[in-house]
Structure formats: C-alpha cells, structure tokens
Amino acid sequence: MAKEWEPKEEHQAVIARSIEFISDELAELQEALRCPNSFIVEIANRVVSEYKTNQVIIRRDEE
C-alpha cells in the first residue's frame, strides 16, 4: 500500500483558510435555511462522498 499523502508545512495556511471558508459557507447556508445541524452534515457528506469515491483530484472545471 502506498504511503498516504501528507501536506507540506507551506500548505498549512491554505488548508486553514479553506476550512474556515467551508465552515463559514455551511454556517451561512444553515442560517438561510434555518435547518438543523443534521441537514448541514448531510450537505457536507455529499461533498465529501465525491472525494471518497474518486481517487483522483476533482476539478470543477472538468465536470
């Protein structure tokens, strides 16, 4: 089995910004919909599932 990929130290800032951005977007969606946390988790899982089923990098411009 190949070793799992690990981000380099210089990637940490972009990772942190991305996590903050995604969290803010989900919070904004929840506020707009007035929905429970469980629905937001379902939405997040839909996004994550694309990355679990495909072992390649998904690029929106290629879809």
Could you tell me the mean pLDDT of each successive run of 10 residues in the chain, 63 residues long? 78 96 97 97 91 66 52
> Can you give the pTM of this predicted structure?
0.72
Tokens coding 44: 């997040």
Inter-residue long-range contacts of 15-22, CB under 8 Å, 24+ positions, other chains counted: none
The confidence score (pLDDT) of residue 1 equals 39
30-50 b/e with 16+ CB inside 10 Å = b? eeeeeeeeeeeeeeeeeeeee
